[in-house]
């Protein structure tokens, strides 16, 4: 921790550092975001903590003004690939709540003690404390946005008892659940199973290409663009749901409909990953602006994000379906697969009809349904089988280097597909699609050359080459470069 840098951020109330750390104030027993609008405390009374869970473990309560437990996630855990980062992503996805620390250790391939030691060193708290902090935030969201009974909220948030729920909320927020509900309710509450949330991010954010890409590649029945929002179905640990995501100036509006409220935390985590909301756009843009070729593109569209996914296996299958075909053709192939073996769902908002099929369902599909050349059809089925058996592991806790090697070992999967999956499913901020047609055309138009010359030049963009790809794609005239209109062909029925 660079405490001098962090203190300067506190003095400036710099929101860009929200989520990087929290500051605890010894005289008040409260911890805050760096950008908290309250009066800046004296430096001698401040202690820094790498996470909200670490501050809570130190006996501090969340500030009621800046709500530090609800700040954007740390870019370190979003972008890094070490043990602590992989564990943090799995905890956010609810693995500890569902299976305890042993399940987390098994997913990571390490002993429980190794995982606990890594998290304590990096985040200042162990896996149980991190999961507890997440449960507290989930509980507060449900208290403030639904009419569920407090007992129902306790179990939906993952607490083992109402007593544990009451004690945790009081310790973390210095309020009882009833006081939180009375003090913080704004407007009409959501109905049970449906919640409207704000997903914060670090500014700036350039929404056009982010949402445009998702809509241009949307699979009918699974995704759509309607009334200024991107909508899609979600396969979740305890059930399924639908989400509507609408870009706003300082946040993304998120309306979730869930069949089981225990899925709230993983649903939010997956939506944040989909939109790359935990990125540090200032660091990314500062790095890319050092290249005179990219600098004008970055100034024109600061804060570009990488469109990712809510389901890593789904993205991998769709990447293979999209090999050597147009975006429209890839959507057609995916829609055919969805109709054949996707699970039907009810959409309260209308228009979404299916979950994207699981790898198991794809592996068992009639090969004729795919309507692909024989070799690519074999590749799809081979990939689905490997995802089913675990020979290819792409989950949020996956080791990126190992996953790349597993993908390369499958016949029919080349560098373009591997890097697409690495960028969008594995979340590697340095994945680079040098062989992509759109990237190659843009690079030549900018005088960057192609092949080895482009690869050599791209080294100066590391470790953010995936973000450079977003800027290069924007050089061409393509549907993914602009926020779509409601009447975008194929986006809404």
What is the CB neighbour count within 10 angstroms for residue 393? 17
Residue 59 above 50 pLDDT? yes
Residues 6+ apart with CB under 8 A from 179: none
In DSSP terms, 246 is beta-bridged to: 253
Gap between the Cα atoms of 71 and 52, Å rounded: 9
Q: How confident is the model at residue 477 (pLDDT cuts 50, 70, 90)?
A: low
pLDDT > 90: what percent of the chain? 76
pLDDT tens-place string over residues 200-210: 999 999 999 89
Q: Tokens 């659940």 identify what position?
A: 177
What is the helix, strand, coil percentage profile of the chain, to 5?
50, 10, 40
What pLDDT was estimated at residue 333? 95
Q: What is the largest CA-CA distance in the chain?
A: 70
Contact criterion met (CB below 8 Å) for 470 and 306: yes
Residue 14 above 90 pLDDT? no
Which CATH fold topology does 3-70 show? DNA Methylphosphotriester Repair Domain (3.40.10)
Residue 479 above 60 pLDDT? no
Gap between the Cα atoms of 275 and 38, Å rounded: 30
Residue 16 above 90 pLDDT? no
What pLDDT was estimated at residue 189? 54
What pLDDT was estimated at residue 71? 82
What pLDDT was estimated at residue 487? 34
Q: Which residue has the higher pLDDT, 188 or 160?
A: 160
In the chain, what are the domain boundaries? 3-70, 75-115+124-145+148-184
Catalytic residues, which ones? Answer: 32, 436
pLDDT tens-place string over residues 263-286: 999 999 999 999 999 999 999 999
User: Radius of gyration (Cα) for the chain, nearest Å?
Assistant: 22
Phi, psi dihedral angles at 300 (to 5 degrees): -75, -35
CATH of 75-115+124-145+148-184, one of 1.20.1260.10, 1.10.10.60, 3.30.230.70, 1.25.40.10: 1.10.10.60
Cα angle value 365/371/377 (rounded, 5°):
65
pLDDT, average across residues 46-60: 93
Catalogue the E-assigned strands of 188-312. 194-200, 223-226, 229-236, 239-247, 251-258
What pLDDT was estimated at residue 447? 95
In a 3-state reduction of DSSP, which class is residue 203? coil
Gap between the Cα atoms of 21 and 52, Å rounded: 8
Q: Tokens 């996630």 identify what position?
A: 73
Residues 6+ apart with CB under 8 A from 83: 108, 110, 114, 115, 118
pLDDT, average across residues 20-34: 94
pLDDT tens-place string over residues 424-466: 999 999 999 998 989 999 999 999 998 999 999 999 999 999 9
Average pLDDT over all residues of the chain: 91
pLDDT, average across residues 83-108: 94
Q: How confident is the model at residue 56 (pLDDT cuts 50, 70, 90)?
A: very high
In DSSP terms, 257 is beta-bridged to: 194, 242
What pLDDT was estimated at residue 161? 92
pLDDT tens-place string over residues 317-373: 999 999 988 899 999 999 999 999 999 999 988 899 999 999 999 999 999 889 899
What pLDDT was estimated at residue 478? 53
What pLDDT was estimated at residue 492? 25
Q: How confident is the model at residue 231 (pLDDT cuts 50, 70, 90)?
A: very high
């Amino acid at each position: 921790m660079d405490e001098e840098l962090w203190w300067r951020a506190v003095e400036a109330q710099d929101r860009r550092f929200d989520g990087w750390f929290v500051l605890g104030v010894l005289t008040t027993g409260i911890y805050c975001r760096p950008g908290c609008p309250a009066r800046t405390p004296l430096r001698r009374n401040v202690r820094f903590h790498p996470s909200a869970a670490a501050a809570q473990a130190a006996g501090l309560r969340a500030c009621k003004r800046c709500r530090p437990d609800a700040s954007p996630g740390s870019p370190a855990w979003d972008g890094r690939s070490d043990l602590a980062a992989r564990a943090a992503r799995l905890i956010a996805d609810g693995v500890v709540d569902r299976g305890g620390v042993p399940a987390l250790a098994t997913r990571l391939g390490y002993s429980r003690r190794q995982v606990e030691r890594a998290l304590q060193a990096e985040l200042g708290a162990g896996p149980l404390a991190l999961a507890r902090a997440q449960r507290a935030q989930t509980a507060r969201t449900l208290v403030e946005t639904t009419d569920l009974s407090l007992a129902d909220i306790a179990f939906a948030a993952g607490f083992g008892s109402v007593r544990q729920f009451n004690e945790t909320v009081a310790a973390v927020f210095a309020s009882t659940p009833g006081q939180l509900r009375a003090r913080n309710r704004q407007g009409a509450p959501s109905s049970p199973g449906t919640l409207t949330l704000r997903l914060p991010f670090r500014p700036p954010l350039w929404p056009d290409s982010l949402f445009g890409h998702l809509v241009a590649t949307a699979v009918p029945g699974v995704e759509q663009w309607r009334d200024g929002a991107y909508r899609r179905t979600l396969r979740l640990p305890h059930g399924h749901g639908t989400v509507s995501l609408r870009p706003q100036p300082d946040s993304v509006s998120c309306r979730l409909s869930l069949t089981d409220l225990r899925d709230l935390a993983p649903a939010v985590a997956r939506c944040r990953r989909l939109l790359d909301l935990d990125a540090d756009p200032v660091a990314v843009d500062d790095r890319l602006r050092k290249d005179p070729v990219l600098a004008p593109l970055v100034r024109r569209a600061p804060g570009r994000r990488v469109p990712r996914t809510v389901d890593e296996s789904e993205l991998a299958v769709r990447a293979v379906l999209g090999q050597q075909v147009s975006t429209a053709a890839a959507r057609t192939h995916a829609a055919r697969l969805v109709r054949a073996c996707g699970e039907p769902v009810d959409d309260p908002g209308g228009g979404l009809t299916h979950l994207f099929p699981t790898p198991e369902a794809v592996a068992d599909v009639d090969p004729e349904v795919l309507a692909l050349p024989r070799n690519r059809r074999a590749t799809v089925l081979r990939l689905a089988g490997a995802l089913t058996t675990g020979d290819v592991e792409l989950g949020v806790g996956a080791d990126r280097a190992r996953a790349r090697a597993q993908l390369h070992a499958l016949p029919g999967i080349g560098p373009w597909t591997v890097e697409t999956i690495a960028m969008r499913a594995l979340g590697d901020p340095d994945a680079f699609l040098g062989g992509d047609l759109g990237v190659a055309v843009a690079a030549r138009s900018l005088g960057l050359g192609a092949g080895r010359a482009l690869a050599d030049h791209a080294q100066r963009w590391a470790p953010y080459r995936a973000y450079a790809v977003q800027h290069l794609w924007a050089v061409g005239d393509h549907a993914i470069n602009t926020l779509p209109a409601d009447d975008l062909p194929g986006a809404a029925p």
